Amino acid sequence: MGPELVAKLAVSNYYADYCRPVIIGDVRMFEHGLKVVGGDVPHYVISDLSECDWERGYPVLDLKDQDPEQVVYGEANAYCGASDLLQLDTAIELCKAGKIEGFVFGPFHKGAMKMAGLHDESEHTYLAHAFNLTTPFCEVNMMDDLMTVRTTSHIPISEVSANITEQTLREAIELGEITGESFGHKPRIAVAALNPHCGEFGLCGREEVDVIQPTIEKVVKETGWNVSGPYSADTLFISALAGDFDVVVTMYHDQGQIALKLVGFQRCITVAGGQPYPIATCAHGTAFDKVGKATATTDSFERAVKAVSRMAIAKRTKV
């Protein structure tokens, strides 16, 4: 799906308003993406970013690793997973070298990447190891200007309560602050409750009383960040979506995902929160049922490009 999305935005000239793009991957796959969407744009192969000249068209850093004839649409396999990892590694090294300011990637298939040798839980952990991060990181879900970060993420519901601790909640709040600031402003952070009715002062669960409220108070006292809560999760997103907050800290994965995707699935993106460079992708997956048909919408991918550009500008201004 990635080549189609990249190609569609190139044909519509979307990138011009936000960045000077460099396409990373096999040029044959980009050209195949153009063929699928029924368009064409001027483009040329480069071996180094010093060769970029956007007046000539779109520069493609050709990795020469993907033959479209060997790519099986709608199937996860090690051949494509290896290409995902190579593209990711290339973008990481370009960031480290100061040759690009950030990057947007098309939807990866983690299963294919694991077949090709990925040992990390996700690409976000992979990025964190590559950048030697020691501070909190996680995927941050975003719709329009509202972000959600998670206290717990990819664990069973049965294990959520035990994993809501002062440390995990602090890290989630810090991630919300870091990511909010990466867009150039001090965020207003709301923290969701875990239990119905905010736990009813301990009558319907004690997580709010024992962990969530005390942690919020400590963080505010120590940092001065604009953090409040806990708020009942069944009503919190009404005010958040109305613009009262910039970040919502949720207690588990679907608590925030359901709210954002129900309201605006095509407008959702995933930001690589806590990473030292602006990185984002579309929130939807690889869409095996649509790949190769030119029917996938580009709304989410467009917003990912826009978000990374905003973050890059904010980082420049801050520096």
Confidence of residue 121 (pLDDT cuts 50, 70, 90): confident
CATH of the domain at 300: 3.40.718.10
Q: What is the pLDDT of residue 108?
A: 87
3-state secondary structure of 95: helix
Looking at residue 267, what DSSP letter applies? G
Rounded to 10 degrees, the C-alpha dihedral 308/309/311/317 comes to 160
> Is residue 231 domain-shared with residue 301, that is, in the same domain?
no
Q: How many domains does the chain have?
A: 2
> Is residue 5 domain-shared with residue 51, that is, in the same domain?
yes
For 129-140, what is the mean pLDDT?
A: 92
> Is residue 170 domain-shared with residue 234, that is, in the same domain?
yes
Q: What is the pLDDT of residue 295?
A: 77
Q: Which residues contact 233 (CB under 8 A, 6 or more apart)?
A: 192, 193, 194, 250, 251, 255
> Is residue 113 domain-shared with residue 42, that is, in the same domain?
yes
Confidence of residue 226 (pLDDT cuts 50, 70, 90): very high
Mean pLDDT computed over every residue of the chain: 93
Q: How far apart are the C-alpha atoms of 173 and 273, rounded to whole Å?
A: 12
Q: What is the pLDDT of residue 319?
A: 55
pLDDT tens for 41-80 read 999 999 999 999 999 999 999 999 999 888 888 888 999 9
> Is residue 194 domain-shared with residue 235, that is, in the same domain?
yes
Contact between residue 144 and residue 264 where contact means Cβ atoms under 8 Å apart:
yes
User: DSSP letters along 186-217, please?
Assistant: ---EEEE-SSGGGGGGGBTBSHIIIIIHHHHH
Buried b (16+ CB within 10 A) or exposed e, 239-268: ebbeeebbbbbbbbbebbbebbbeebeebb
Q: Is the pLDDT of residue 179 over 60?
A: yes
Output the pTM of the full model: 0.91
> Is residue 55 domain-shared with residue 148, that is, in the same domain?
no
pLDDT tens for 241-285 read 999 999 999 999 999 999 998 998 889 999 999 999 999 999 887
Question: Domain range for residue 97?
Answer: 1-133+275-319
